[in-house]
Amino acid sequence: MDVISVIRTKRDRGELSPEQIDWVIDAYTRGVVADEQMSALAMAILLNGMNRAEIARWTAAMIASGERMNFDSLSRPTADKHSTGGVGDKITLPLAPLVAACGAAVPQLSGRGLGHTGGTLDKLESIPGWRALLSNEEMLHVLDTTGAVICAAGDGLAPADKKLYALRDVTGTVEAIPLIASSIMSKKIAEGTGSLVLDVKVGSGAFMKNIEDARELASTMVALGTDSGVKTIALLTDMSTPLGLTAGNALEVRESVEVLAGGGPADVVELTIALAQEMLAAAGIKDADPAKALADGSAMDVWRRMISAQGGDPDAALPVAREQHVVTASASGVLTRLDAYAVGVGAWRLGAGRARKEDPVQAGAGIELHAKPGDTVTAGQPLMTLHTDTPEKFDYALASLEGCYDVAPAGTDFTATPIVLDRIA
């Protein structure tokens, strides 16, 4: 087997054989196939695609590159959720303890932010003392004692994906649907969860800008999960507008705690409950009421135990940025558009995100929104507040927010886009 023939097969729109896929994934993981060769193959896959059999074998080969976890020792059924990423997408934070409060075990392996999309681990690390890195034994212990764990994937889980993910990020091949699907599902299947709900974002703040591409990605991932024996469902959800009223690390933790306390923005509550219902149904738990678990404080109790079990102090004050800048509405009327991508880039430029995996983030940086589409605004009123420790970043962030919203005359009819756009099972 040689890598040039594998590249040529896909370059010429051929189907890669199972043997070719197994060999190239293993050889790349071992360093036999060079980065420039794998980047050529990734570009060929981006341009020419893969069929279902190829994607399934590619995913299986990435799983086989490392270990597989097992939760058979738990007394509860397991259910996990994965989001394809967006702006203000703090849903994992209230969702994991909520589903655990309703009777499932939630082994949530999460990642860090890159570019305009926030990362769950970055958000939680704004809580003093909280640890993202757990051994498999520690993860199982937290899961067994609290019902939920949110942590980083260990180095032994799908190492081929870690290497390929970093390569895709710097070679313009992130958007390849077969590679997105296999990247996500190799980790989730290797993780060992019994059921999985996918939150596939659609819109300006998402990787998938239109619903057709999102539906293709969701269908591909549902098929991969189903073929591997994991009950898998996908919801397509709107990401044209930021979720909730915050984009940033500590800002989003604070908002998540509000949701767990029975309050919080309506869109965050709606999506959290919708995903919780899907996760519980997939896990075979039929009689639980997620809305009740939010209202009666049981989800908050799990949150506090989960944070404490990972070294965090749920009562500690969250970091606050040293500097703020207020952006005011330019006209009076109805706010009809607030672009998620622009807000995400603005938060990133303020220090909430990173351009490279190695970059640090500011815990208190981000953007706080004071109005959402459908709200009536008055010229000069605060529309958003920018937070950062480094005020020299304000101009850079403000440039990304130029033209990010529209205000229509008072009385203009406005119909909000539904949060859940479609369901694929």
Beta-bridged to residue 196, according to DSSP, are: 80, 232
* Residue 116 among the catalytic residues: no
Strand pairing of 376-377 and 333-338? Answer: antiparallel
- Residue 245 to residue 266: CA distance in whole angstroms: 10
CA distance 234 to 68: 23
d(CA 421, CA 203): 11
The encoded tokens of residue 144 equal 């067994």
Q: Which of 126, 183, 256, 400 is catalytic?
A: 183
Residue that the structure tokens 């764990």 belong to = 149
82 is catalytic: yes
Residue 408: its H or E element? strand 405-408
Interatomic CA distance for residues 275 and 412, integer angstroms: 32
Report DSSP letters for 270-283, one per residue.
HHHHHHHHHHHHHT
What secondary structure does DSSP assign to 152-172, as a single string? EPPTTS-HHHHHHHHHHHTTT
Beta strands in 128-271 (DSSP E): 148-152, 195-202, 231-238, 246-248
Q: What share of the chain is helix, strand, coil (3-state, %, to 5)?
A: 45, 15, 40
Rounded Cα–Cα distance for residues 193 and 185 (Å): 11
Of 10, 81, 82, 162, the active-site residue reads 82
Distance, CA of 125 to CA of 131 (rounded, Å): 7
Q: Tell me whether residue 122 is one of the annotated catalytic residues.
A: no
Give the active site residue among 80, 89, 122, 161.
161
Tokens of 392: 């020299």
Helix (H, G, I), strand (E, B) or coil at 333: strand
Let me know if 168 is a catalytic residue. yes
Active-site residue, 400 included: no
Spatial separation of the C-alpha atoms in residues 180 and 184, rounded to whole Å: 6
Tokens at residue 78, please?
A: 């397991």
CB-based contact 17:10 (threshold 8 Å): no
Question: Is residue 210 a contact partner of residue 202, using CB atoms and an 8 Å limit?
Answer: yes
Which of the residues 168, 201, 305, 393 is marked catalytic? 168
Catalytic (active-site) positions? 82, 161, 168, 183, 187
